[in-house]
Amino acid sequence: MKAIIVGGGIMGLSTAWGLARDGHEVELFEQGPLPNPLASSMDEHRLIRHPYGDHVGYARLIDDAFTAWDLLWGDLGQRFYAATGTLALTGNGADWAERSATALATIGKSMIELPLADLRLRFPQIEAKGVERAFWIDSGGVLFAQDIVTALAEYLARQPRIRLHPHTTVRSVDLEQGRIVTEAGTSHAADIVVVAAGAWVDRLLPDLGRRLIPSRQVVIYFDLPEQDRAAWAKGPMIIEKTGDVGLYLVPPMEGRGFKVGDHEFSRSGDPTAERTATEDDIRPLLQRCRSLLRGFDRWRTDRLKVCFYTVTEDERFLVEKRAARGWVMSPCSGHGFKFGALMGLELARTIASGRDAATHARWAAGLEATAAT
């Protein structure tokens, strides 16, 4: 079987990997370099964690996600992950952490509540103003995202049945016939076409613009005094909601940067537009950091990064069969990277084995325990 994949982010690359493992032929087209620094997948890190609020379906998939990453580390000959554990902090009426703990208990995962006095002893680097309750689970950590996509693209370039086409924008797709046409006017055909075009997907499939809303997100990298950096290099990852802005914090594991972002979807923006962040973009986040992180006044903003992803209304993933020979693959809503290897492997299996497409779509949406019927 031959597949064409449009998009060389983690989803397109992982699907190519899954298909190639099973001996299929793949042509992958990417509009920029491979990997493309403008892709959602291209940042120093992405978090993986069991706590998932009420979305127990996704919490249940995390163990499978870790298994898929382990398979990838085996093929790449290197592990791009550091464990940190997951600390969830709440206050001011927010209950995401409590809901996560309740949901995890139903699948046999223990997320324990830390008394606030213990929180201060265990993590003295946290100031914790406004925090009313703290929850902890040992699992979770940091995936070194851009190193993963870089290594995976290099690995795929060495596979005999894979052809990568960087700097080749796909202008149109015909998912009924299994054809694509590039910006240069070249036509290519295959048994199946997978569109994994991230925040650009509505340019190829305009009707999806109503369901997959591009969202402009800004993250802050900080430069810390050496002593603070050493303390944070041991973790933890933090998911916090105690004020107007909910934040996540990525500790500087294995020499990577220290990053903070928020959970608020902008639900607007154009991925092709100029990517400059402003003071207004980060003011609420900085304010929250000031009351959450000890010694924050000594920290310096190192750089800001603007990134785009798509969001669905219910934050579930959209992975759907379209027409006779097409799939749309958008497991994102700002939380897709952690499932990248798993989503790619499973879509490859469904495509190659003819498993039921509707079951696969429900599985990717976190509504089925397995993609197979």
Ligand X SMILES: Cc1cc2nc3c(=O)[nH]c(=O)nc-3n(C[C@H](O)[C@H](O)[C@H](O)COP(=O)(O)OP(=O)(O)OC[C@H]3O[C@@H](n4cnc5c(N)ncnc54)[C@H](O)[C@@H]3O)c2cc1C
Is residue 11 close enough to count as binding ligand X by CB under 6 A? Answer: yes
Q: Report the residue number, 79 or 167, with the smaller CB distance to ligand X.
A: 167
Task: Determine the Cα–Cα distance for residues 41 and 62; give it in Å rounded to an integer.
Answer: 18
**Nearest-approach distance from CB 278 to ligand X, in angstroms:** 16
* Residues in contact with ligand X, shown as a per-residue x/- string from 247 to 266 under the rule CB under 6 A: --------------x-----
Does residue number 85 form part of the binding site for ligand X (CB under 6 A)?
no
Which residues partner with 303 through β-bridges? 221
Instruction: Give the C-alpha separation, 258 to 253, whole Å.
Output: 8
For ligand X (CB under 6 A), the number of binding residues is 36
Q: How far is the CB of 150 from ligand X (least distance, A)?
A: 12
Among 85, 243, 269, 334, interactor with ligand X by CB under 6 A: 334
Q: How far is the CB of 332 from ligand X (least distance, A)?
A: 4
DSSP per position, 129-167: TT--EEEEES--EEE-HHHHHHHHHHHHHT-TTEEEETT
- Which residue among 7, 178, 251, 326 contacts ligand X (CB under 6 A)? 7
Residues 50 and 59 sit within 8 Å (Cβ to Cβ) = yes
The distance of closest approach from Cβ of residue 306 to ligand X in the complex, given in angstroms and rounded to an integer, is: 9
Residue 129 beta carbon to ligand X: minimum distance, rounded to whole angstroms: 24
Taking the C-alpha atoms of residue 194 and residue 185, their distance in angstroms, rounded to an integer, is: 19
Q: Annotate each residue in 170-209 with x if it binds ligand X (CB under 6 A) or - if it does not, as one string.
A: x-------------------------xxxxx---x-----
Cα(26)–Cα(11) distance, integer angstroms: 14
Q: What is the dihedral of CA 230, 232, 236, 240, to 10 degrees?
A: 170
Q: Which is nearer to ligand X, 32 or 91 (CB)?
A: 32
Per the CB < 8 A criterion, the answer to whether 227 and 125 are in contact is no
For the range 229-233, what are the long-range contacts, defined as Cβ-Cβ under 8 Å and sequence gap of 24 or more? 229/258, 231/124, 231/125, 232/125, 232/258
Contact 309, 39 (CB under 8 A): no
Binding mask 13-32 for ligand X (x = CB under 6 A): ----------------xxxx
Shortest spacing between CB 45 and ligand X, in angstroms: 7
Binding of residue 156 to ligand X (CB under 6 A): no
Q: For residue 293, give the DSSP letter.
A: B
Q: How far is the CB of 238 from ligand X (least distance, A)?
A: 12
> Interface mask (CB under 6 A) for ligand X, residues 210-249, using x and -?
-------x-x------------------------------
- DSSP for 69-97 reads HHHHHHHHTS--EEE--EEEEE-TT--HH
Structure-token pair, residue 237: 């990852």
- Of residues 61, 338, 348, 361, which one binds ligand X by CB under 6 A? 338
Task: Output the residue with the shortest Cβ distance to ligand X.
Answer: 9
Per-residue H/E/C for 270-289:
CCCCCCCCCHHHHHHHHHHH
The sign of the CA dihedral 274, 250, 337, 49 is negative
Residues 267-326 contacting ligand X, CB under 6 A: 307, 309
| Residue 66 φ/ψ, nearest 5 degrees | -60, -40
Site string for ligand X, 87-126 (x = CB under 6 A): ----------------------------------------
> Where does this chain bind ligand X (CB under 6 A)?
6-12, 29-32, 36, 39-41, 46-47, 169-170, 196-200, 204, 217, 219, 261, 307, 309, 332, 334-338
